[in-house]
Structure 1
Amino acid sequence: MNLADALYQLTPSPFLLLLIIAAIALIESLALVGLLVPGVVLLTAAASLAGHQELALTTTVLAAFIGAVIGDWVSFWLGYSQHGRVTRLWPLSRHPEWIARGARFFQRYGTLSVFFGRFVGPVRPVVPLIAGMLRMSPRAFTWANLASAALWAPAYVLPGYLLGRTWQQLLDVPEGIRQLVVVLAALLVVLVVVFSWLRQQVTRTGRLYRLLALGARRHPVMRRLWLARSGRTRGEVPLASWLLLILSLGGFSGWTLLVVREAGPLGMDLQAQALFATLITPWLTQLGQLLARVGDTFGILALVLPWGVWLLWRRRLDAVLHIAGGLGAIAALNTLGKALVGRARPDTPEYLTGSMAYPSAHTSTMVVMAGMTAAFVARELPHRQRHWAYWTAILVVVLMALSRLVIGVHWLSDLIGGALMGLVVCALVQLAWQARPRAPLAPCPWLLLGLASLVLVAARIAWLPPV
């Protein structure tokens, strides 16, 4: 008996498993208890069992959604009806800073705090309680609760569910390819951690930034350049953007030379293709096709359109021009790169006839869009919370990139080249934006605009053909 069969035998009945998933989601969202229970880990494990037992994905997500909604509602009711006594209960009586942190978050974002709070670990179980204690309108809370749970449930269930559906395939992967999976996963984690650390270090509060500033002030020429640049950007030199430009431009140039010199798929490309051939399932292919439509021209326009209209209404033509410039630049570079490199795809469906592989346009475009979004959002957040915007952007890009391997229209090296080229454009857009002081984009109706983008993307998927 192999490991997958043993795990399958340990799986509870489908109905009981759905109850467990709903209970975990409820506890994760419940005030007091949710602060102490590792709900994310438990939910991932339960979703993995659901995926391996081949429960319907919609039913699994619905169970998590219902549990999350009930958990927030119970927390809200506790705060609304017992607001004078809640703070005397353990563990809040021992940790009053949790209430203070949640109150600051609620006062900063108002009604939207219920929506955003579900995705922010330190305040997730406290914000509904605070909303009740501060007598938030039950109707407004209900809408924010339902909308946030509708996004939270699939985001937290899908990774574990996908793992469960691929247990058997992962265990049957040949040893050489299994090593490639481990290496690629470790490399991705290292790159993300290094990126997060470097981004923090080269901001004004970082140690590396202070060391470079101290060194620049010791030389007359460098001091004049440093002071001139910081004077135009409210006292901070955009080292993060310059570092991103230098590293991504150098990486893209070197990687493209390697791809051109090989004149065919690299060894890692063939290994990655063999790996995904062992993992492909019909539902995974359907998900890849769906993401392909989200990341094409029509999909990107659907995602961007509500935000562009709002920015124009706010008379923020500068932001519109920077976003349009970034997307236009990456589109032109993708067209030019595909024409110059002329690399064939591993598989070319009819709608991609005549289109070359390198670089991956879906990956590069998603890097630009997610990167610009993360940068604009992070600028409105405190320094300690900015990493959430960037980590979310990285997750979105990775999912889009992997979908290109799932449907077999790109080599792995195409995705790497596309990501590096997208980072070059992101850095250039940021440097242009940071060239002079800008008024903040907040306040912004994030929830309304996000829902509008989702509606337009759903319409694009339903009614327009792939391009």
Structure 2
Amino acid sequence: MTATDWMTALTPSPSWLYLIVALVSLIESLAVIGLVVPGVVLITAAASLAGHHDLSLTLLLLGAGIGAVIGDGASFLLGYHQRQRVPVLWPFRNHPQWLSRGAQFFQRYGVMSVLIGRFVGPVRPIVPLIAGMMHMRPSTFLWSNLGSAILWAPAYVLPGYLLGRTWQHLLYLPADGRRWLILLGLLVVALVVAFSLVRQQLAHEGWLHRKLAALASRHPRGRRLWQALTASRTEAALPLASLVLLLTSLAGLSGWTLWVLDQNGPLPMDHQLQGLLNTLDSPWLTRLAEGLAKVGDAYGVIALVAPWLLWMARRRLYALGLHVIGALGGIALVNTLFKHLAGRARPDVPDYLSGSFSYPSAHTSTAVVLYGLAAAFVADALPRRYRAPAYWTAILICVPMALSRLVIGVHWLSDLVGGALLGLTLCAVVRLSYHRFATITPPRPPWASLLLASLALLTARLLWLPHA
């Protein structure tokens, strides 16, 4: 049985998916209920089914947006009309920290809290309730609610829809595989719910946190262990720039990939730009592009990064080093997955690229991750007015690296766009993961010696190693 067969069997009436997405969006936006419902998992699953059945993406986005608006609106009305009773209602009388956390978020971001809060898991279903309790003007809340839903729906629906359009290329199930996949899906949902509940209880005000702290306090070694485990848990400010980058780049990547897959070949702009490049006959430009290809392959990236990773290890900057390694390993894995899903042929296939696909451009995505993260970490140590040059430097490196793939003729322009969006998405994920360590300022690196070491290794790579 193929993926198509079992997905069809699981969805006897695909049109119900519109209603399912709307209901899930509504429920996960409701006060309290949204804290325990794994809305992201359920919406992704439903959107994947919709993409597999090629349902209308416009109607799916509309259903998700309407559900989200109604859910937030109901929470707002509850807080607006029951302001005095909410704190004594269950479960808030047992968990007053939920309201205090939402109130702090609302006071910090004001009107924008409704727009931002929809994307912030811990306060997502609480902020509209707090907005009502604070008697925000209903007209102001309405426009913020509509605006956040317009941004939220593509960010959450498009990735799942893309998955549904492409998973048949990955899954070929045995005849008895259907029931095991159903059980696996139920297990994943159950684990997500359990994780959500445990995470809440492990918060500083949670019941499980208090019990563990009391248990540890009974023994000196237990107290020292508990202090070591909890000392690094800092409430760093939410990195809104990284969150916005993640949502916009992920939605853009999903939408762009869907468009590329629908074309079943190069886009019109790909043909036009390729025709323009074919008219250029510049040996020095070709040699430069081939050099950049070596700089951006696996050997080149290792040569550039190795001295810095060794320095991080010596200075015990393990969190930073592991995030860099995870970013580079993650982008390599995701590039392989995307290329397999798209199965798009290259304009030209040299011997060292035999058997590989075109979309997205791995050189582009890797360059964005490598130089983008480098710029972000460097910018963290600079005053705000000096941060822009760090990012512009990264851009000036990434753009030639990407365009060199067109000069060589191994990628289409749309491959570069997809690679850039993929790289930005992973950059945002890494920055969000690392933000809890942002309060620990790394020591100033020996810039000159590390740069010279990277350049020396890169020169050796260019002179003696073939294409990776």
TM-score by length of 2: 0.52
What is the aligned counterpart of 2:111 among 215, 228, 240? 215
SS in 2 for 1:409: coil
Q: Which residue of 1 aligns with 2:416?
A: 415
Post-superposition Cα deviations, 1:159-195, rounded to whole Å, max 9, x if no partner, equal xxxxxxxxxxxxxxxxxxxxxxxxxxxxxxxxxxxxx
1:434 aligned counterpart, secondary structure: helix
**CA offset at residue 446 of structure 1?**
1.1
Cα separation, 2, equivalents of 1:210 and 1:463 = 58
8 Å contact from structure 2 (residues 236, 438) kept in 1: no
Superposed CA offset, 1:397-441 (max 9, x none): 101000000110000000000000010100000000003444112
> How many angstroms apart in 2 are the aligned matches of 1:261 and 1:252?
14
Structure 1 letter corresponding to 2:324:
I
Q: Is the 8 A contact 1:216 1:223 kept in 2?
A: no
Residue in structure 2 matched with residue 440 of structure 1 by the alignment: 441
In structure 2, C-alpha distance between the alignment counterparts of 1:440 and 1:350, rounded to whole Å: 46
SS in 1 for 2:436: coil
AA aligned to 2:340 is: A
Q: What SS is found at the alignment partner of 1:279?
A: coil
Match of 2:288 in 1: 287
CA contact (8 A) 1:234 1:437 kept: no
Deviations 1:18-74 (A, max 9, x none): xxxxxxxxxxxxxxxxxxxxxxxxxxxxxxxxxxxxxxxxxxxxxxxxxxxxxxxxx
Residue 460 in structure 1 maps to residue 464 in structure 2: no
- Quote the offset at 1:278 in angstroms: 2.2
Name the amino acid aligned to 1:319: L
Alignment of 1:249-288 (within 5 A): 249-288=250-289
- Do the aligned partners of 2:339 and 2:358 also contact (CA within 8 Å) in 1? yes
Q: Aligned partner of 1:350: which letter?
A: D
1:233-258 deviations in whole A, cap 9, x for unaligned? 66632110000000100000001001
Distance 1:260 1:304 in 2: 34
CA 1:394–1:225 in 2, change beyond 3 Å: closer, same or farther?
farther
| Corresponding position: 1:324 with 2:332 | no
Q: Which residue of 1 aligns with 2:385?
A: 384
CA–CA distance in structure 1, aligned partners of residues 458 and 129 of structure 2: 49
The one-letter amino acid of 1:214's match is: G
Rounded to whole Å, the distance in 1 between the matches of 2:108 and 2:367 is: 32
Letter matched to residue 407 of structure 1 = I
User: Structure 2 matches for 1:69-148, cutoff 5 A?
Assistant: none
Q: Where do residues 228-377 of structure 1 align in structure 2 (5 Å cutoff)?
A: 236-377=237-378
**Which structure 1 segments of 5+ residues have no match?**
1-208
CA deviation string 1:283-307 (max 9, x = no partner): 0000000000000000000000000
1:450 matches 2:451: yes
How far the C-alpha of 1:345 sits from its partner, in A, is: 0.3
1:223 Cα deviation from its structure 2 partner: 9.5
CA 1:457–1:214: 2 relative to 1, 3 Å: same
1:200-229 Cα shifts (integer Å, max 9, x gaps) = xxxxxxxxx999812266999339999x9x
Q: Which residue of 2 aligns with 1:425?
A: 426
Counterpart CA distance in 1 for 2:459 and 2:408 is: 20
Aligned to 1:160: none
Match of 2:186 in 1: none
Report the Cα distance in structure 1 between the residues aligned to 2:128 and 2:443, rounded to whole angstroms.
34
C-alpha contact 1:242 1:427 (8 A) present in aligned 2: yes
2: CA distance, partners of 1:323 / 1:391:
20
Amino acid at match of 1:377: V
In our comparison, the structure showing a higher alpha carbon Rg is: 2
Q: 1:276 deviation in Å?
A: 1.5
The aligned amino acid for 2:127 is: M
Distance 1:212 1:277, change over 3 A: farther
Residue 397 of structure 2 corresponds to which residue in structure 1?
A: 396
Q: Show the 5 A alignment for 1:44-59.
A: none
Using a 3 Å threshold, how does the CA distance of structure 1 residues 258 and 449 change in structure 2: closer, same or farther?
same
Are the aligned partners of 2:106 and 2:127 in contact in 1 as well (CA < 8 Å)?
A: no
Q: State how far apart, in whole Å, the 2-side matches of 1:337 and 1:295 are.
A: 19
Q: Secondary structure at the match of 1:435?
A: helix
Count, aligned residues: 257
Q: Secondary structure at the match of 1:299?
A: helix
1:254–1:287 Cα change, 3 Å: same
CA distance in 1, matches of 2:427, 2:364: 13
1:274 positional shift: 1.2
- The alignment yields a C-alpha RMSD, in angstroms, of 2.8
Given that 1:280 and 1:406 are in contact with CA atoms closer than 8 Å, whether structure 2 keeps it comes out as no
Q: 2-side partners of 1:232 and 1:214: how far apart? A: 26
Q: Could you tell me how far apart the structure 1 residues matched to 2:359 and 2:382 are?
A: 36
What secondary structure is seen at the aligned counterpart in 2 of 1:265?
A: coil
Q: Which residue of 2 aligns with 1:129?
A: none
Counterpart Cα distance in 2 of 1:263 and 1:225:
48
Alignment of 1:190-201 (within 5 A): none
Structure 2 gaps, min length 5: 1-104, 118-122, 132-202, 204-231
Distance in structure 2 (CA, Å) of the matches to 1:427 and 1:217: 21
1:388 & 1:410 partners in 2: Cα distance? 29
Give me the whole-angstrom Cα distance separating, in 2, the residues matched to 1:235 and 1:214: 19
Provide the TM-score with structure 1 as the length reference. 0.52
Paired residues of 1:330 and 1:364 also in contact (CA < 8 A): yes
| Partner AA of 2:110 in structure 1 | L
User: Would the aligned equivalents of 1:363 and 1:419 in 2 still touch at CA under 8 Å?
Assistant: yes
Give the distance between the partners of 1:216 and 1:262, measured in 2 at CA.
38
Amino acid at match of 1:222: V
Give distance in 1, aligned partners of 2:402 and 2:431: 23
> What is aligned with 2:33?
none
